[in-house]
Amino acid sequence: MLRRDLGRTGLTVSVPGLGCMGMSEFYGPADEAESRRTLAEALDLGYDFLDTADTYGLGHNEELIGGVLRETGRRGRVVVATKFGIVRAPGAYARTLDNSPDYIAAACDASLRRLGLDAVDLYYCHRRDPAVPVEDLVGAMARLVAAGKVRALGLSEVSAATLRAAHAVHPITAVQSEYSLWSREPEAGMLDACRELGTTFVAYSPLGRGFLTGALDVAGLAAGDFRAGNPRFQGEALARNRDLVAALAAFAQGRGLTPAQVALAWLVNREPHVVPIPGARRVARLAENAGAAAVVLSPAEIAELDALFPPGAAAGARYGEAGMAGIEAG
């Protein structure tokens, strides 16, 4: 698999990495046995960058990953990223944010227990609470590095200004935000800031929560799948977004690729410091996604895709009101 630097840590990670959220929550009921098989197969295929968070299944996702790493004996060959900062009640999507130093320390200890690790390789603030100064937030995270509990720091869904302020306190190894053909906001300054600072940009939902694959049956979404209430999957926005995906499918067919492979290859070919982390809940998707990293798109093909999906082309907000909490513009 293609490999890329993880910030300036000296580590490299697989491209793509693996987003694990859907194995526990948000995309309808998960199959525990299939999730375990998928994780084990991903490791066999060369995926070695696993992304989770304490809020995914309220700890279940971390426990799932920790269990598979123990069972397979692969801990030493995997970079595990997890996150703190989103606080929810069981079964609820509504959330509050907590970036207080005491909470950060307690959340890290809890994640280490669930993962069965001595140290988290990459520890993100999942969402920033604007009431907490960035110096206090990153200072508390840096103390975890000094204590040997965390190896590198990351931020999620922050602005370029916040990244620069945070990096002045402690090196920020990675920024994670949504980035795909239909969510191009990071191009308005964040990608440049990451390049300048030596920070890896980790692109989550690079397949538009499955929509860009062209295979998602929106009408058949299972109970509990948060996409059913997402503005991009509803009404007139859904109809307009289906036209975008039809254009992507036509482009992919002309190249003998799947739409998912084109969407991932677009990310990989545009920027050398971007690492997409598509989610997968079933073994069948792993090889397809991994193959995208080997696809070479010409400048003309990238320009064609840019024109098909210009910034702002997708209809509807990428989250509902609750999901936008803590997301910084710019």
Q: Which residues are catalytic?
A: 56
Q: What CA–CA distance (Å, rounded) separates 99 from 247?
A: 42
Bridge partners (DSSP) listed for residue 177: 203
Nearest to 122 by CA among 149, 150, 101: 150
Contacts of 268 (CB under 8 A, 6+ apart): 2, 15, 274, 276, 292, 293, 295
Nearest to 78 by CA among 87, 89, 90, 65: 65
* 3-class state of residue 159 by DSSP: coil
Cβ neighbour number for residue 218 with a 10 Å cutoff: 17
Q: What CA–CA distance (Å, rounded) separates 86 from 67?
A: 23
Cis check: omega of the bond before 29, within 30 degrees of 0:
no
Burial 145-156 (b: 16+ CB within 10 A, else e): beeebbbbbbbb
Q: DSSP alpha helices (H): ranges in the chain?
A: 32-45, 60-72, 101-115, 134-146, 160-169, 190-197, 235-255, 259-270, 284-291, 299-308
Helix-helix angle 259-270:299-308, to 10 degrees: 110
Cβ neighbour number for residue 319 with a 10 Å cutoff: 17
Nearest to 49 by CA among 9, 10, 7, 80: 80
Cβ neighbour number for residue 325 with a 10 Å cutoff: 15
